[in-house]
Every structure is written in structure tokens, then in C-alpha cells.
Structure 1
Amino acid sequence: MGTQPSKIALLVSSLLSLSAFSATAEEATTSAANVDETITVTGSRFDRTADQQLTVINTIEREEIARLNPKSVADVLETLPGVSISRNGGAGQATSVSIRGSNSNHVLVLIDGVKVGSATLGTVSFNTLSPENIERIEVLKGPRASVWGSDAIGGVIQVFTRQLKGGEWFAGAEYGSNDYIRGSFGTGMDHGNGSTTLTVNHEQSDGYDVYNGAPVENDDDGYKRNTISLKGSQQINQNWQAQWNAQYDKGNTQYDDVYASGSADESDYANYLWNLATQYSNDKFTSKLALSQSRDYNENFRGDDINVPVSEFETKRDQVNWSNQYLAANELTFTGGIDWSNEAVKGDYAQDERDIFGAYVLVQKQWSQLLAEAAVRYDDVENIDSEVSYNASLAYQFNDQWRLAASTGTAFKAPTFNDLYWPGSGNPDLISETAKSYDLTLHYQADDIRAYISVFENSIDNLIAWAPTGEKDDFGWDIWKPANINEAKIQGVEFSASFSVFSLDHQVAYTFLDAENKQTGEELIGRSENEFNYQLSYNWEQIDVLANYHYQGKRYAGYSEYFDATHQVDLSIGYQLDDAWSLRLKANNLFDEEIISAQNYFSPGREFFLSVSYQAF
């Protein structure tokens, strides 16, 4: 660890030089134009432009998602700097998402503002989400517990579902490797001063044998995924608006469990969420009240043996959110609100539900070229110690192009029901995992380029891990239970640039990571020191081409072993037949690289997909 600060300093110097060189490239055109028009909401819960944000937020819009033609949300997220993916196979298999080296359960995931995920495992099933139903994804880097509460240690991922105007509609079909089939449809409907969007999607694949280690099950592991979503709003009068959205995901996944050969090998899931909201706004004040519920349901069984017991896991989360924003004089903005939720789980737990209450306030002030922000939040999790989280940020605009922002903040992750109350091994004395972070980011933005470089550090304490209690069972074996015993320190550099040269659009994303277990001095398992993504795209008349290269450095697998570094190239070619009809050919892992991100679980080899779509706008 002693030599790492100098490594980071060297990387910062090199990448700043690259930023300056790119900024003066004579051949650059306008690929990054209109950056100022980008609106995000995840940082503060209300609309803000890029120059009002004091945290790094990456946004991926529908147009780019369509050109990537991903088979999972993880395929989209992996193109971003600071986001790392670990898969137990292909699109339908278990997937972990890490932001800036944090654990996968240190990422808060929202769909249209509604928190989703399992309160028993503490993670989100990204493999159940359909990219076809997504309009936009915002990924916020760094802690944001001061606004959102528990889980936002590494960052926040917010998924926004598609929304069409009345008379707009789309339909699409796709076929590809491993007998992959997709059909999708969406339509927008007007009703007075409002509209509602309905989208449906079906996907299925026969899959492949995802586990290639010692024999477990020599069979293909396929999946089915069905999604229906509804999203709309109604302008009641000049000040009042009603909003609603709902989503239902149902499907099946076949998998290989290396630790339990002969047991369950299939999983059915049926997840839903709904949200009803009303919003009042005038020139100075906006207030929004939202009522929502989400369910995460999973049933595990063995497909060819009805004698294997069925295991069920279910989380239901009722949520009430009241958010307010007041625009005072002299560039002063106050944001604040109250959150309440009830988490209930199904199973033989000593306690199967809990209430969570949170209240927060955020203040932002602009002085000429200086922008400051401070936020504080109080959270009370039933039967767990309360937590107070904060963020403090400062940015200075040197000129129209250059901007420097610094921030510090704290965050926490409440223990899950499995940690606390799992029959026979839960530990009700656990406390929340806590984190403190620092971030320094230099932004460059012009009509022809946008770039940033960010240096960050995150220290996480009271991490929960299995540990011996000092007691013995009836057979003389040590009794192990979860305990707050681990600490981690994560340092890194994140770089992103988008520019155009010779009519070719370029996107570069690079992350350097130094992630250490402070107790043992070892690297954190599953992290890469270097991760790089490069996109090259070109448009010519009716044709668009997108090539994506992803490099994943070697990852520590534990016990002094490493997963090998991997290289993956994907290619997407689209042809616009006319104003409405289009064709797209997608090749994943074009050079058929062997890619392993979890022990002996292989990602797909070379795959091809052909899609046809119709859009009426």
C-alpha cells in the first residue's frame, strides 16, 4: 500500500495530459454537443443540469442502448468507468455489479425512483431486468446515503422505463445464438393533458452449460424473461400533476450450483413494483408525495426431480417518500424530505419485518464561479442503531471549459434479514457497515469534447463476514455467525472521455483500482487493478456501426489465485431501411475469448443476433 499514492499521482498526470491533448485535437467535431442539456435526477431527486451536479453521474440514453443491443443490463453498465461486473454465466445468470470497488450489496438500485432488491440477500437480480424496457440509466458514483439512505456506499443506479407520446409505438423481433428469441412492443396513449406508455417484452434462450469445472450438471442453462410496464402522467392544472408507473417481471432461470450438486437447479421469479405520486410545483417550490410497493420473489427447485424441497424467498417493501425543493433568492436551493418504508420477508425468521424512517436536507448555493453543496440525513432502522450521513461538496468553474469539484461524505449499509435472523446462524447484535469517502474530479467540456478524471478513496468499516463465535456445536465443530469484523480501503482513478475525430465517435473509459482488506493486507476478491472500455462508432447514410472493446485486468480469486485478464470485442451494425424499419446485426465476443469472472463459470463464447424493428414517431 505504501507505493500506491505515487502510482495514482503518475496516472493522474498522464491522464490529464491526455485530456488536454484531446481538448485541442483539430479534427474533433460535435459528437459531445448539447452536454449542458443533459438532465439528471438521481443526485438530488429533482431535475438538475450537468453544471449543477457535484458528483460524477454517468448517463446512458435509449439511443445508445439500442445501438449496443445488450442482452442484460450488466452489458450496458460494463461500458462505464468505475463499474465492474461479475457473472455466473450469460444474460440469465446471477450477476454482481460493483461501483468503484465496493461490494455488490453496496449499490442502491432504483427503478423510476422505487427501491428494488432483496432484503434477505441485500442484492438486486440484474438478470431479471429487460434492457428493451429501459429509456435511460443514471449511475451516480460515490456515497449518496445523505439523500437516499442505506446501501448507497459505492453509488446509486437508477433505471428509468420507457415513455412514449400518444400515437408513438414500436415493435421488434430478434433471433440469435443458443436459440435466443425476443419479441417486444410498446405504445403511447394520450388522455387530455397527459399520456401513458405500455411496453411488453418476451425473451428466451436455450442457453449453454455455464459451469465448466468439475462435473456438476452437463446440461444447457437457459432462461425465460417476460416484462410488462406501465408509465404515465396527467397534468391536472397549472400546478398539480399526477404520475404513475408499474412493472411486472416474471421468468425462469436454469443454473449450476457448484456447492450443491444434485439440489435445486432452476429458479422461478415474479417481481413487481408500482408507484403513485402527486406533484405540486410553481416558480419557486416543488413538492412530491409518492406511495409505492416492490416485491422480490424467488422460488428455487430442481427441474427434473420433484422430491427436492422448494425454497422460497420473498421481500415486500412498502414505501412513502415526500420530497421538496425550494428555489430561494441569490442562487440558493433547499431540498429535503421524509422517507418511510416497511420491509417484510417470508420465511422462518425470528423477526420478519422492520420499519425504516429517514429524513434529509440538502442545501446548494452558487457564488459566481463557486458552487457549494451540503447534505445531512438521519436514518432509524428498527432494531439497529440509527445512522447520520452527510455529504459536503465544492466546485470551482475556472472558465467555460474547466471545472474542479471536491467532495467528502459518509454512507452505511444496514444488515440484511439473513445476517440478523437466519434460523440457527443469524446475529441480531450486528450493526450497520459504514463508509467515509473523498473525491476530487476535474471536468472538461466544450462543443466537441467532454471528459473528466476523478481520484477517489473509500474506507469501509464494520464489514460483515462469517467468523467463529468461540462456541462448539453438539458435534464439537466451531459455530460460525456473521460479525462486524472486516475493514476495507479502496483508492482509485477514474477517467472518461468522449470526442470525435475524422467523423468517428470515440468513448474511452478507464479505471485504476487499489482495493485492500485492511485486516489482512490482501487484495479484495474479485477486483481488477485495471479496467478499460473503448467504443468506436460511425454513421454513414442509413448505416451505423459500433465496435466495443472491453479489457478486464486480472482479478484476485482468493488463496493467492487470480482470474486471468480478459479481452472482449463486440460489434453492432444497423441499417435503416426507411424512416420506420431498421435491421441490426450484433456479434458478442467476436473473437470467441474464454472469459471467467467467477470461479469456473464461463461467459458465453461467440454469439450472433439479428433483429428487426419498427418505430412510428
Structure 2
Amino acid sequence: MGTQPSKIALLVSSLISLSAFSAQAEETNITSANIDETITVTGSRFDRTADQQLTVINTIEREEIVRLNPKSVADVLETLPGVSVSRNGGAGQATSISIRGSNSNHVLVLVDGVKVGSATLGTVSFNTLSPENIERIEVLKGPRASVWGSDAIGGVIQIFTRQLSGGEWFAGAEYGSDDYIRGSFGAGMSHGEGSTTIAVNHEQSKGYDVYNGAEVENDDDGYKRNALSLKGSQQINSNWQAIWNGQYDKGNTQYDDIYASGSADESDYENYLWNLAGQYHNDKFTSKLALSQSRDNNENFRGDDASVAIAEFETKRDQVNWSNQYLAADELTLTGGIDWSTEQVKGDYAQDQRDIFAVYALVQKQWSKLLAEVAVRYDDVENIDNELSYNASLAYQFNEQWSFAATTGTAFKAPTFNDLYWPDSGNPELLSETAESYDLTLHFNNQAFRAYISVFQNKIDNLIAWAPTGEKDDFGWDIWKPANINEAKITGVELSAHYQLFGLDHQLGYTYLDAENTQTGEQLIGRSENEFNYMLSYTWLQFDLLANYHYQGKRYAGSEQFLDAYHKLDLSVGYQIDDAWSLRLKANNLFDEEIISDKNYFGPGRELFFSVSYQAF
């Protein structure tokens, strides 16, 4: 793999010369006559138009996902400002997502409203999720524990699975580099005043050798991924509606163990979630009761001998959510509810289950050009502590184009079961990590151009890290355990814009970060000071073109070492044969740049993919 910075610089300068500034779609403005009426739900759990949102929420719709033709959810998220991705290799490898410089376990991830992820590691396996089954992604920036509870320190990512009307269906096939193969199918079925969508997807790739360093295993690290999603609703009468959805993911990932020769080098996963809900709605009042369950299961083993180094990790989470919204007046909205969940983990833990009970309330009020919102939530996490979280926001509409919003809030992250109860090394005295955040955002919107710039700061206390206890083991070695010893301060600027010029659609996102461990004065590991994304798209007759350029600045790797900055250019060309049939050619990392987002792993080099799809309406 080689680098060609001169070619990249020439291309980027040519693209930017077409525009002064461009951006990712955003739904955060207060009322404006020209604003797109995109509906989001992550900010308050209920449908809200852009003029009702006070926090920055980026959305990516199905149409853009198709043009991006991603091989992982991370490929989609990386196009957004303020979202940073670190990969242990390619699409099937472990991936970390950071929002505005927060830790990867400081991001709450929901699938159709259901919390997913591991309660042992505290993270989400993004490599197990199939982009082909996704209809829309909403990414909320900044703390939102006041509505969603634990983990939402950096932000919230909510993934919505595909939904078709009765009689609609699609099918697709794809082949590409490293013997990548994909097949997908989905159909919508009507039943009276309702419909149900079922979608299936299979992907596999032989992969490549991801390890960056001395030989550990000279092998390809491939993956297989199967996904099934079910989503539907039934209108019982004018007021009552039943809602259901489910997701099942099963697969295998091969990887390189960089720490110990002969240990586990493969992982099987089998994850699922289901959700059943009933909703009552009239002109003033909406109430929704949802019952759900999710499971995150991983089994690690040695590929050439499945009896060696077996380790299994499983989280099962039962959830009950009761959410309500009342339109008390034309300009006053009251929202509130109760959440209960129980987390169970499999393993030799001193404690393998805990209950979490929470109540929350949100009030939004408009006075002419002024919009205010206050949200408060109380969480009781069994055997840990109680947390009171809040968000307070105020926005002012100067005119139809310009508006300004100020937000402050707190959030927390409950310790994981590994932190608390891992045999011989857990610390049951740990407290939750806590954060306090401030955000100032200026928005501009008209028919031709929409943009925002945010200045934010997030202070995180009681960060959990390994530390010596002062005790010695039987061999005289120091005993280390997790402790609430670290503090961090993250300050940054986030810029997003979107406009059309010369028949081209331009989108741009830029993030500046100053992320510091305030205990040591060092930069936080894995953060870039500068990150930039530029997307250019064009449609002509039956053709569409999308060029996506990503710049990742150098990242601190610890011990006064840095990972090199890199550039990445992807191109996607589609051809619509007729109303149903379409073809697409995708090139990733066109200039074969050497990409290392984690110091021990290579990213893929140049990749090519060809797909054919059919969609009936």
C-alpha cells in the first residue's frame, strides 16, 4: 500500500474550489420557512421536527446509505462531523466510535429504541451490525442522560431498521475485493391497517492480514455476517396502535491476537433484540408502553482448535419503558416517563445481575422567537449509586435564517461488571463516571445553504483506570485494580454545512479537538486535533456519482508517540437501468493510502465492489 498525497491534495483543492464550504445534513434549527421537515425522535423519544430540536442531531437516510455503499456502520458514521472511528482492521474487525472526543463506552447505542451492547465490556460491537438492514441513523451530539440514562456522555446513536409498505420488496447482490460476497432480500406485507417488513442479509469476506508488526499469524482475517430484521405496526383504531420489531445478528470474525501467541483468534457472535409496544394517541396526549429484551453474546476460541482458549461473554438486558407526551398548550410540551431494566451477565462474577430504575421529565416552552427546554432524570443503579442528570437549553431565532442555541447538561456512565466484579481484580467500590458539558451553536438555513458551528466543552470526572491498591500479592508484586482516578477536559469546535452549487451537492464536516487528561496533562489517546470530511455528489440522467474524502489528523498513541495522519478517498457510481433495476460500482481508498487508525492494525488498501439491486414499489 502506497501514499500519493500530491494526487489527493490536487483532487481536494479542485473539489473545494467549487465551494466555500459545505456539510452533513443537520436537523437542529429553530423554526424557519425553508427548513427540511425531517422528523427525529432521539432527542425526546417522540417525533419532533427540526424546529423543535435544541441539540445537534445529524441524520443519514437510506438514500445516502445506498450511495455510500458502506461495508460497516462505522463507514457511515465516519462521514459525520464530531464522530471519530478507530478500527482494528477492516469491516469485520473490532471498531470504536467516539463522539466529540469522548470514550467509545461513553456513547449510548439504540436499535429501534432498544439499548444494545455489552454490560461486561461496556461497548457495542459495531462490526456485527449490517448496513444493508438500516433505514436511517440519528446521531445526537453531547450528553443526553437526562432522557436516556447511563452511557450518553458523548452522545446517542440510534439506528432504525428498514421499513417497507405492503407490496414493496427488494433484492440485491454484490461482489468485491477479498472475495467479498453479499446477498440481501426484504419485503413488506400488509395486514389491514398495518404492515410488517422482513429483511435478511448475508455477507462474507476472506479478509486480509490485519496485524501491523512482527509476524504473529500469517493469515487472512475474514468474517461472515448474517442479519435478520422484522419491523411492523398495526393501527387498532383511531387512537391505539401496536408496534413490534426484532433484530437477529449471527456471524464469525477472525482476528490477530497481538499480545499472546496461540491464544484465541476467532470470535462467534449471536445477538438479538425484540421489542413489543402499545401506543395511545390523541390530539393532546401520547402514551407508549414498550417491553423489550436484548442479548449480546460472544465466544472467543482458537480457530485451528476450538477447544483451546474458549471464553464466552454474554449480556442479557430486559427493559420496560413507559413514555408520555402532553401538549399542554400550543407552545408548551410536557414529556416524561419511567424506565426499568435488569442486566444479567454470564461468567464467574461475584455479582451477575443488577436492576436500574429511572424516572425522567422534559418541558419545552416557546415564547415568540425564544425556545427553552429543561430535562431532568433520576437513575437508581443497584449496588452502585444514584444519579441525577439534567439538560437545560435556550435558543433564539433572530430571523428566518439565523438562530442561536446554548445548552448545558450532565451525564454519567455506570461501571461495567468487569470493572466491578471481574474475579480477583474487580472493585465493587467504584462510582459512576460523571460529566458536565456546555455547548454554543449558531445555525444558518435558507433554500440554498444550511450550516451550523458549535463550540463545546465536556468535563469528565471519576474516570475509571487501573491503579495500584498499595497491596502486594503472594509474590511481592503490586496489586492493581480499577479506580475512579482520572479526569478529562475536552474542548472543541464542530462545523457542518450543506449546499448546492453548479448542479453539485456539497457536504462538509470539520472537527477541532483539544482533549486532555487533566491529571497527567497528556492528550487523550486516540484523538485527532483535526478531522475533516468532504462529500460531493452529482446526478445526471440515470447516473449518480458520490465522492467522499476523509482526512484524519495524527492521533496520540501514548508514550509520546503519534499515529500518522492519513487521507482516504472513496468513489461510488450508480446507474439506474429502469424504475426497478440499478447497478453500482464502489472504490474504497482509491489511492491505496496506508491507513492505521490503531497502532497495531492495518486498514484495508484499495477495494473495489460491484453490486446489482432490484426494488419493486
Cross-structure match for 2:321: 321
Cross-structure match for 1:406: 406
Alignment of 1:114-193 (within 5 A): 114-193=114-193
Q: Distance in 2 between matches of 1:469 and 1:245?
A: 47
RMSD (Å), alpha carbons: 1.4
Q: Distance in 2 between matches of 1:249 and 1:448?
A: 41
Alignment of 1:382-531 (within 5 A): 382-531=382-531
Q: Which digits, 9 at most, give the CA deviation of each residue in 1:239-262, with x for residues without a partner?
A: 000000001000000001101221
Percentage of matched positions with identical amino acids: 85
1:64 aligns with 2:81: no
Cross-structure match for 1:87: 87
TM superposition shift of 1:449: 1.3
Cross-structure match for 2:28: none
The answer to whether the Cα contact below 8 Å between 2:58 and 2:80 also exists between their aligned partners in 1 is yes
Cross-structure match for 1:36: 36
Q: Which amino acid aligns with 1:573?
A: V
TM superposition shift of 1:215: 1.1
1:223 aligns with 2:237: no
The answer to whether the Cα contact below 8 Å between 1:118 and 1:315 also exists between their aligned partners in 2 is yes
Which secondary structure state, in structure 2, belongs to the residue aligned with residue 79 of structure 1? coil
Cross-structure match for 2:303: 303
Cross-structure match for 1:608: 608
Q: Distance in 2 between matches of 1:84 and 1:306?
A: 35
Cross-structure match for 1:553: 553
Q: Distance in 2 between matches of 1:223 and 1:504?
A: 37
Q: Which amino acid aligns with 2:188?
A: G
Q: Which amino acid aligns with 2:361?
A: V
Cross-structure match for 1:13: none
Q: Which amino acid aligns with 1:357?
A: F
The answer to whether the Cα contact below 8 Å between 2:433 and 2:461 also exists between their aligned partners in 1 is yes
The answer to whether the Cα contact below 8 Å between 1:33 and 1:448 also exists between their aligned partners in 2 is no
TM superposition shift of 1:448: 1.3
Q: Distance in 1 between matches of 2:577 and 2:390?
A: 52
Q: Which digits, 9 at most, give the CA deviation of each residue in 1:44-81, with x for residues without a partner?
A: 00000111100000000000000000000000000000
Q: Distance in 1 between matches of 2:314 and 2:408?
A: 36
Q: Distance in 2 between matches of 1:81 and 1:21?
A: 13
Which secondary structure state, in structure 2, belongs to the residue aligned with residue 132 of structure 1? helix
Alignment of 1:94-113 (within 5 A): 94-113=94-113
Does 601-610 or 301-310 show the bigger shift?
A: 301-310
Cross-structure match for 2:589: 589
Which secondary structure state, in structure 1, belongs to the residue aligned with residue 385 of structure 2? coil
Cross-structure match for 1:201: 201
Cross-structure match for 1:9: none
TM superposition shift of 1:20: 9.6
Which secondary structure state, in structure 2, belongs to the residue aligned with residue 474 of structure 1? coil
Q: Which amino acid aligns with 2:472?
A: K
Q: Distance in 2 between matches of 1:48 and 1:312?
A: 41
The answer to whether the Cα contact below 8 Å between 2:21 and 2:508 also exists between their aligned partners in 1 is no
The answer to whether the Cα contact below 8 Å between 2:496 and 2:510 also exists between their aligned partners in 1 is yes
Give the TM-score, by structure 1 length: 0.95
Which secondary structure state, in structure 1, belongs to the residue aligned with residue 438 of structure 2? strand
Cross-structure match for 1:5: none
Any gaps of 5 or more consecutive residues in structure 2? 1-17, 24-31
1:53 aligns with 2:92: no
TM superposition shift of 1:22: 7.7
Cross-structure match for 1:359: 359
Q: Distance in 1 between matches of 2:605 and 2:20?
A: 38
Q: Distance in 2 between matches of 1:71 and 1:452?
A: 29
Cross-structure match for 2:579: 579
The answer to whether the Cα contact below 8 Å between 2:450 and 2:497 also exists between their aligned partners in 1 is yes
Cross-structure match for 1:379: 379
Q: Distance in 1 between matches of 2:541 and 2:122?
A: 47
The answer to whether the Cα contact below 8 Å between 2:301 and 2:307 also exists between their aligned partners in 1 is no
The answer to whether the Cα contact below 8 Å between 1:72 and 1:91 also exists between their aligned partners in 2 is yes
Q: Which amino acid aligns with 2:278?
A: T
Q: Which amino acid aligns with 1:120?
A: T
Any gaps of 5 or more consecutive residues in structure 1? 1-17, 24-31
Cross-structure match for 1:14: none
Which secondary structure state, in structure 2, belongs to the residue aligned with residue 182 of structure 1? strand
Following TM superposition, the consecutive aligned residue runs of length 4 or more in structure 1 with deviations greater than 2 angstroms are 18-23, 32-36
Q: Which digits, 9 at most, give the CA deviation of each residue in 1:532-561, with x for residues without a partner?
A: 000011100000000000000000000000
TM superposition shift of 1:33: 10
Q: Distance in 2 between matches of 1:438 and 1:139?
A: 18
Q: Distance in 1 between matches of 2:303 and 2:33?
A: 52
Q: Which digits, 9 at most, give the CA deviation of each residue in 1:167-206, with x for residues without a partner?
A: 0000000000000000000000000000000000000000
Cross-structure match for 1:277: 277
The answer to whether the Cα contact below 8 Å between 1:19 and 1:451 also exists between their aligned partners in 2 is no
TM superposition shift of 1:447: 1.1
TM superposition shift of 1:305: 2.0
Does 304-313 or 53-62 show the bigger shift?
A: 304-313
Which secondary structure state, in structure 1, belongs to the residue aligned with residue 427 of structure 2? coil
